[in-house]
């Protein structure tokens, strides 16, 4: 019922309460343009005030005025409406009983339609007395002071104080909106986990440069390089430097450079990440989101079908043609002599032609 007045915040396009706002978010609703200061006596803006300076007690809240109006109605001829009501009721009974001979559960309006109107004022009056209490509790906002941490009004606060969120330690869980509660708890826990991971990540040192990865002087280097096969922390620049360094004499690329500098386990790729993980699941999340991101980027080697990508099916980037069609790869398996199957590389005629030397 309070939704009849246009929400000021909504009018400015910035109401945070959304569907739960106690004011109307319907442009057809009239805005409340009455100056509250003028109502109390003095408005400092005087004639320059952008709100209406009207002293109208009945305009201020439509509910009591309507109740006063209907009270008059009620008190006027007490017997006349009831008489007519009895008449109509009998007519209605006759008609309905004829219509539904089966006589199932039949609702008989004991009072005529207009009489309901007469009853209404009492209800509205009640509503006015305990206005905030009677509104559906889910529609009422929670106290923003309490949600922020501390409500100065304490017990006497007219607003609902939210329940304590165990994660963020604030009274911001709405007691009557289960969906919102769940959502808050979920996001809050997620944030908390992220914060903890970040805090944990701050402490981690790169085993190559011996510096804390997230405190490196170069901003671009404040990233971890996660190895796919083991859990040793390095900063992205160190591990990439090592993997791309030219192998010294006798150094084998696979056994030395692509191996973890600490455990020498072979990893085929490095995943950059700003956060270090604590569990296998978190690591998988990081890897998956990284791969998903790369898969949305067009491969520059494939070049929409114009080029060939040396990484073939193992490429992390998107292999799509100009029309958006994805490359379809048919792998040809060849049986090798030792019984293993080998994936045959695609061979083009041009590969041979370009090597031919015509004498």
Partner 1 sequence: MVDFARVQKELQECNRDFEVSGIKVIPKSDANLAHLLGTIPGPLGTPYEGGSFKIDITLPDGYPFEPPKMHFATKVWHPNISSQSGAICLDILKDQWSPALTLKTALLSVQALLSAPEPDDPQDAVVAQQYLRDYPTFMGTARYWTEAFAMTSSLGVEEKVQKLVEMGFPEALVKSTLVSVNGDENMALEKLCSG
- How near is the Cβ of 297 to partner 1 at its closest, in Å? 29
Distances (CA, A) of 298 to 50, 290, 291, 309, 327: 56, 15, 13, 11, 12
Structure tokens at 227: 């190895």
Partners of 173 in beta bridges: 163
Decide whether 124 or 207 has the Cβ nearer to partner 1.
207
Q: Phi and psi at residue 225, in whole multiples of 5°?
A: -110, 105
- How near is the Cβ of 7 to partner 1 at its closest, in Å? 58
Residues constituting the chain: 359
What is the tally of helices (H) and strands (E) in the chain? 12, 4
Decide whether 111 or 207 has the Cβ nearer to partner 1.
207
- How near is the Cβ of 285 to partner 1 at its closest, in Å? 26
Decide whether 217 or 296 has the Cβ nearer to partner 1.
217
- How near is the Cβ of 276 to partner 1 at its closest, in Å? 17
- How near is the Cβ of 248 to partner 1 at its closest, in Å? 6
> How far is Cα 73 from Cα 145, in angstroms, rounded to an integer?
44
Helix (H) or strand (E) holding 65: helix 62-75
Q: Tell me which residues touch partner 1 (CB under 8 A).
A: 207-211, 232, 238, 241-242, 245, 248-252, 256, 259, 261-262, 264
Structure tokens at 124: 């509205």
> How far is Cα 11 from Cα 24, in angstroms, rounded to an integer?
10
Decide whether 210 or 322 has the Cβ nearer to partner 1.
210
- How near is the Cβ of 283 to partner 1 at its closest, in Å? 20
Decide whether 126 or 255 has the Cβ nearer to partner 1.
255
Decide whether 168 or 227 has the Cβ nearer to partner 1.
227
Decide whether 81 or 261 has the Cβ nearer to partner 1.
261
> How far is Cα 80 from Cα 141, in angstroms, rounded to an integer?
45
> How far is Cα 144 from Cα 20, in angstroms, rounded to an integer?
14
- How near is the Cβ of 254 to partner 1 at its closest, in Å? 12
In the chain, which ranges are E strands? 224-227, 270-273, 332-335, 341-344
> How far is Cα 209 from Cα 46, in angstroms, rounded to an integer?
70
């Amino acid at each position: 019922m309070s939704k009849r007045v246009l929400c000021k915040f909504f009018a400015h396009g910035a109401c945070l309460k959304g569907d739960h706002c106690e004011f109307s978010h319907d442009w057809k609703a009239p805005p409340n343009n009455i100056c509250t200061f003028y109502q109390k006596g003095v408005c400092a803006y005087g004639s320059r005030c952008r709100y209406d300076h009207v002293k109208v007690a009945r305009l201020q809240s439509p509910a009591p005025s309507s109740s006063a109006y209907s009270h008059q109605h009620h008190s006027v001829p007490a017997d006349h409406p009831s008489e007519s009501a009895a008449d109509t009721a009998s007519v209605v009974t006759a008609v309905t009983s004829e219509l539904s001979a089966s006589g199932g559960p039949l609702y008989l309006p004991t009072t005529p339609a207009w009489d309901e109107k007469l009853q209404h004022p009492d209800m509205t009056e009640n509503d006015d007395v305990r206005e905030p209490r009677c509104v559906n509790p889910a529609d009422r906002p929670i106290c923003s002071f309490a949600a922020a941490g501390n409500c100065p009004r304490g017990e006497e606060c007219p607003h609902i104080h939210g329940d304590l969120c165990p994660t963020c330690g604030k009274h911001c869980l709405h007691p009557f909106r289960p969906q919102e509660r769940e959502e808050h708890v979920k996001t809050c826990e997620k944030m908390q986990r992220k914060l903890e991971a970040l805090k944990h990540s701050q402490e981690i040192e790169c085993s190559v440069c011996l510096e804390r990865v997230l405190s490196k002087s170069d901003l671009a280097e404040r990233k971890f390089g996660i190895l796919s096969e083991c859990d040793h922390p390095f900063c992205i620049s160190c591990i990439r430097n090592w993997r791309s360094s030219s192998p010294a004499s006798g150094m084998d690329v696979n056994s030395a450079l692509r191996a973890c500098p600490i455990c020498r386990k072979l990893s085929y790729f490095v995943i950059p990440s700003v956060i270090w993980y604590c569990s296998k699941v978190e690591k998988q999340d990081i890897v998956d989101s990284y791969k998903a991101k790369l898969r949305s980027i067009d491969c520059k080697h494939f070049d929409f079908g114009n080029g060939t990508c040396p990484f073939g099916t193992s490429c992390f980037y998107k292999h799509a043609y100009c029309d958006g069609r994805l490359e379809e790869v048919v792998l040809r398996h060849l049986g090798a002599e030792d019984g293993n199957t080998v994936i045959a590389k695609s061979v083009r005629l041009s590969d041979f032609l370009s090597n031919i030397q015509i004498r």
